[in-house]
């Protein structure tokens, strides 16, 4: 498994899609500052300090940018094995297709946390350039912890989408659209139980991110329901991967089915 993960990172070093991810994860902090600057006085945060900047960046990341970027890169890592026609070279080695998928998903999980750290660093720089006050050790630590945790839990939330779109070649872009809608829809969920169970928001609840400013709610989510929701996402992903057959196996089954249709009753194929 470690070898698979290491191989995926070596492949990413030669790919331009990593740059797309870095650009995308630069935007949440910039969007937070820009929104505060152009919003009406009634819509602005009264004391927009570093704590508010981190909260806004985390909110923008979890509901807009992370679901899209993680699905795009995760789907690309899997889909390239189809498009580059490398599966025929990999599968003869004693590595099952399911194990290969698990390795790729784990690699993307590590990368998602690294993207979270990158977004954290970008937020610090954007805040300094914007002259935002309120930076101290407590804010630095809380911001880092919440950013890394949100990245990991947001990835878990969209894992079933990545796993499902890995079953066939070229459909991962459809998964990107679904992930965008999945994240964007979180902005409109007000009911506390639904917020706790909705996977994108579950991670924010677990990490203690204050979403009241962005959702006009004062009641916090329920931690137990959020943990249950994220656990369910992991279980669903595991089931999807375990039920996914390798392209070669699926191709053989189709050929066998097609051949059997032309055989007379009692005739062996």
Print pLDDT tens along the chain (269 aa). 788 788 888 878 777 889 999 999 999 999 999 988 876 565 566 688 999 999 999 999 999 999 999 999 999 888 877 766 555 555 555 567 788 889 999 999 999 999 999 999 999 999 999 999 999 999 999 999 999 999 999 999 999 999 999 878 778 899 999 999 999 999 999 889 999 999 999 999 999 998 877 887 778 889 999 999 999 999 999 999 998 876 555 444 444 444 555 455 555 54
In a domain, 14, yes or no: yes
On whether the CB atoms of residues 115 and 21 are closer than 8 A, the answer is: yes
What number of other Cβ atoms are within 10 A of residue 223's Cβ? 13
In a domain, 178, yes or no: yes
How far apart CA 176 and CA 108 sit, in angstroms, is 15
In a domain, 264, yes or no: no
How far apart CA 254 and CA 256 sit, in angstroms, is 5
Cβ neighbours of residue 72 under 8 Å, at least 6 residues apart? 17, 20, 21, 172, 173, 176
84 is written with which tokens? 């580059």
In a domain, 181, yes or no: yes
pTM of the entire predicted model: 0.86
162: containing domain:
2-247
Q: Which long-range contacts (CB under 8 A, 24 or more apart) does 145-148 make?
A: 145/207, 146/54, 146/58, 146/207, 146/208, 146/209, 147/54, 147/57, 147/58, 147/61, 147/116, 147/117, 147/119, 147/120, 147/123, 148/113, 148/116, 148/117, 148/120
In a domain, 161, yes or no: yes
72 is written with which tokens? 């795009």
**Cα–Cα separations (whole angstroms), residue 199 to 30, 43, 50, 76, 160:** 25, 27, 26, 23, 11
In a domain, 265, yes or no: no
Looking at the 3D structure of the chain, how many domains does it have? 1
In a domain, 15, yes or no: yes
CB-based burial, 176-193: b 16+ in 10 Å, e otherwise: bebbbebbeebeebeebe
In a domain, 42, yes or no: yes
pLDDT of residue 33: 92
- CA of residue 165 relative to chain centroid, distance: 13
pLDDT of residue 216: 79
How far apart CA 157 and CA 106 sit, in angstroms, is 14
Task: Give the torsion sign (CA, 190, 191, 196, 199).
Answer: negative
- Could you tell me which of 205, 181, 180 has the C-alpha nearest to residue 24? 180
- Could you tell me which of 205, 244, 252 has the C-alpha nearest to residue 224? 205
pLDDT of residue 128: 94
On whether the CB atoms of residues 50 and 139 are closer than 8 A, the answer is: yes
């Amino acid at each position: 498994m470690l070898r698979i993960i290491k191989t995926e990172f070596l492949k990413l070093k030669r790919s331009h899609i990593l740059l797309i991810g870095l650009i995308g994860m630069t935007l949440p902090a910039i969007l937070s500052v820009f929104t505060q600057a152009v919003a009406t006085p009634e819509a602005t945060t009264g004391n927009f300090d570093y704590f508010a900047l981190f909260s806004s960046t985390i909110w923008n990341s979890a509901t807009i940018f992370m679901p899209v970027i993680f699905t795009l890169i995760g789907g690309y890592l899997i889909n390239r094995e189809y498009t580059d026609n490398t599966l025929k070279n990999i599968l003869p080695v004693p590595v099952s297709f399911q194990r290969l998928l698990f390795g790729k998903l784990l690699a993307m999980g590590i990368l998602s946390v690294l993207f979270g750290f990158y977004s954290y660093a970008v937020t610090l720089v954007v805040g300094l350039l914007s002259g935002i006050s309120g930076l101290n050790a407590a804010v630095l630590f809380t911001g880092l912890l919440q950013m890394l945790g949100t990245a990991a839990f947001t990835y878990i939330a969209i894992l079933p989408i990545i796993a499902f779109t890995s079953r066939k070649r070229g459909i991962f872009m459809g998964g990107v659209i679904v992930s965008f809608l999945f994240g964007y829809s979180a902005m409109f969920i007000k009911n506390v139980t639904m917020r706790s169970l909705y996977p994108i928001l579950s991670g924010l609840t677990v990490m203690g991110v204050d979403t009241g400013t962005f959702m006009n709610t004062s009641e916090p989510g329920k931690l137990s329901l959020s943990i249950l929701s994220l656990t369910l996402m992991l279980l669903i992903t595991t089931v999807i991967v375990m039920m996914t057959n390798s392209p070669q196996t699926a191709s053989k089954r189709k050929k066998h089915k097609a051949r059997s249709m032309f055989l007379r009753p009692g005739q062996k194929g």
